Amino acid sequence: MGKPENTESFTPYEVQGEEVTCWISKEAMDFFEETGKMPDGSYLFFVEGVGRLRLWFE
């Protein structure tokens, strides 16, 4: 949790409607781009213990 020690391979995204910054690794972003967007422009994936998670990047 929190800001990664080495931010070089991460991109910060502000969470809309919250005072939270989400740091997403380049590896994760590459995965999202490889799997492709949903028709509504979101990325949908499964998180064990949580369920489905949908993200939009602006």
Partnered with residue 24 across adjacent β-strands are 11
Structure confidence at residue 1 (pLDDT): 62
- The CB density around residue 55, as the number of other CB atoms within 10 Å, is 15
Q: Contact, 39 vs 20, CB < 8 A?
A: no
Whole-model pTM over 0.75: no
User: pLDDT truncated to tens, each residue of the chain (58 aa)?
Assistant: 678 988 999 999 988 888 988 899 999 889 888 989 999 999 988 889 989 988 888 7
Residue 30, pLDDT score = 92
What is the pLDDT at residue 42? 93
